[in-house]
Structure 1
Amino acid sequence: MLHWGPVSVLPSIDDCFARGYDRLYAGDPAGASAAFRCAVLLDPAGGEAWAALGETLAGQPGGTPEAISAFQHAVLLDPGSWHWRTGHAEALLRGGRAGEAVERFALLAAERPDAAVVRLGHARALAAAGRAGEALGEYREAVALRPDDVGAALALGALLIAEGDALAAAELLQPLARRHPDDARLQHRIGEAWVALREPDKALAALRRARELDPDDGHGGAALIAALEAGEGADLSAAYVRALFDRYADRFDRDLVGKLGYAAPDLLRDAVDRLGGPRGGLRVFDLGCGTGLAGVAFRPLAGHLAGVDLSPRMVDKARDRRLYDSLEVGDVVAALESSDAPWDLLVAADVLVYIGDLAPLFRAAAGHLAAGGRFAATVERLEGAEAFALGPARRYAHSESYIRTAAQSAGLRVLMTEPCTPRREKGVGVPGLLFVLER
């Protein structure tokens, strides 16, 4: 018997359900759980009692394992209950069993592809299982089905930032922030996106707005604001470079060659030819290959031509040229360090303007060039004693003395340095420096 009042009674199952929901709505989950356990005892073959117990336990500290078991009983009793199966999948995810949750959400999504709650659950399960690429697709489906769901958009934005596509996160969240101008969560996440993109002014504006909306700083924006106000975050991140060139990919060749008079690949090929050496059969690695303009210049020298670029869309354009033997999306230093054979020639045409400190790249080059192998590159020329500096156009310039010192420190010999004009800006030639190093 249960003691629900001054008199001991033998409740009916309806009494158990009524008591359970009364306690649940009164904010007493422990009382609700006791009542639904009563319902299960009275009707162990009733799926509704097991499901109600599972839903109540799922939100309680330490209740997840029992919630999983309760939902499992409910689903076994009625495998056709879509709601109970969703609850079971959610409980599995909450219990850290992401792989099992993925399987169950996948089945539910196949049956109801228009159910935003399932697509969102599937996305969260995939992310927890370390399958970020698939999770992005599911998050996008959930957001498309529920475009005003702030929680879903925030989750998608966070994953986009984590996966290096912070610009997509900003573009997703800004229209939503205009519809929900007083949502501190949106402002904070937009600020995080601008931090990743190394846009400190935009980041500060969004983070300060989030603090105004949430004076208690529940999102931890104070530390980010302090760092930005101290001048951190002004250098160029991989996310910024990727976003810049992904957006630019479709018109890159037309603008760079036609409007900007881009000449870096031809200048580098001419320098390599003037220094002499083998005229073909070389292992050539195009660092920051973009759409493959340097590949056009250096394919005749290559027995094997590889390319790497941070921008997936740029790599797609390069692949369309059918010049490269291998292409990959990634960081140039990481790509060099993962090389399985030494290179005869490394080429970086107008790429180092997005890298400040060249020492890690020079060390990687020295470690993965063949004996006598060469590294040919262009930079924007910096006059004076400073090693490198980020200009107003958000491109780095490097001094010749820095190039020489960094090369020597990495164990590379300077074969050539000469002034050049890799491209024009606003009709004026950009002062550049071409150099060729040798291992």
Structure 2
Amino acid sequence: MDSKHHAAGSAAARRAALLQDGFGHLAHGDPVAAAAVLEQAAALPPVPGDDDDAACLADACAGWGEALALAGDPAGAAAAYRRAITIEESAGGRARWAWRLAHAEALAAAGDGVAEAAFRALAAERPDSAPARLGLGAVLAAAGQTAAALDEVREAAFLAPGDPAVTAVLAGVLVDAGDALAAVELVEPARRRFGDDPALLVPLGRAWAALQEPDKARAALAAALEADPADARGAAAVLAALDGGDEGLNPAYVRALFDRYADRFDADLVTKLAYTGPALLHDALLRSAGAAGRAARWERALDLGCGTGLMAVPLRPAVGMLAGVDLAPRMVDKARARRLYDMLSVGDVVEAMEAQPGSWDLLTAADVLVYLGDLHPVMAAAARALRSGGWFAATVERRGGDGFALGPARRYAHADSHIRAAAGAAGLAVRLLEPCSSRQERRQPVPGTVFVVERV
């Protein structure tokens, strides 16, 4: 065998090995590792004239798409599935139905307007396909075409009677159509049969809210959060709307959300969101200290919203006494297990600052102020809590223009002008304020701001 054929054979063998490894990760419930391996398989150049390798490449792309969808990257999944479909169709004939359906579902999850056309084509090809009719109904509902959506989802329910996924979507469309009572009558029997499935509980909560039954709505939505701490279906947003809409996030639900999320918090932040908030804050403090000609050392520090204690890791060597406070008891338990804090407490961050006026040389808040709107009360409390010359350092999500706003992920974004105004009103001098990104969503950096202010 000449060197060219040997290289081609090696590439095909390498792709096949990676494909097997990647699907092994998928089988073991690790889509992040699977995506990394299958991306390598998809990146290897195709072997000309080798039909088996072409099929292997298409499988690798489809598997990569599946892994990305499971890992929370629907746009990446759609692109990977599109490539698998193109490869298979280039060999003649129609690509696999399952791949085309998964491609349409990924487009819909990514909010791509092409999803409607993709589902319409699938539904036209197979009018008896419940997933195709359900997908079409869901994208029509998202586009505000409630009547058309209701027709499609009802057809899906006829084709797949008792399917909880179909029931959940139909219930949501019924609420949108103004028939919340029908939604309750649909979901309650399904809930008794399938248990506390968040897909059913969120539309049930919305239905009870529409029927002016807030206690029943809260119970259903709290159960949804219990079953799905990551809140993929937006239960927390409906709960917040029940308790004042955009006026603020109810502390009780912030506490409940993070308590349920405690066991997965660190892993999700690092692997899925590429979280770097503590490192960004520590670097900002070091640079601010250098610019001020002072040592990066603090006698007493309070970590606000300490969570599981990630901020304590870089901060501990630079602090004499380190305390932490967080709303969620289970998060505090995780922080206590790190054995880096001298004192930990459960409570509200503003109340914790006000409890010990003039006591702290440093206050930190990594990814905490995103759950607070107006920063004037926070800055005022920080000014009272700090000793003269003390610093308050934090990260926020960045807003263009002025003021602050609650985004679709139920996290506040703050404009630089709002931070400066709140600090100035409290008598705090801005020592550093610059753009950053402490986390990603859908593999894209979320615009943020890091700041350091001083009590002068």
Larger radius of gyration: 1
TM score, norm. by length of structure 2: 0.48
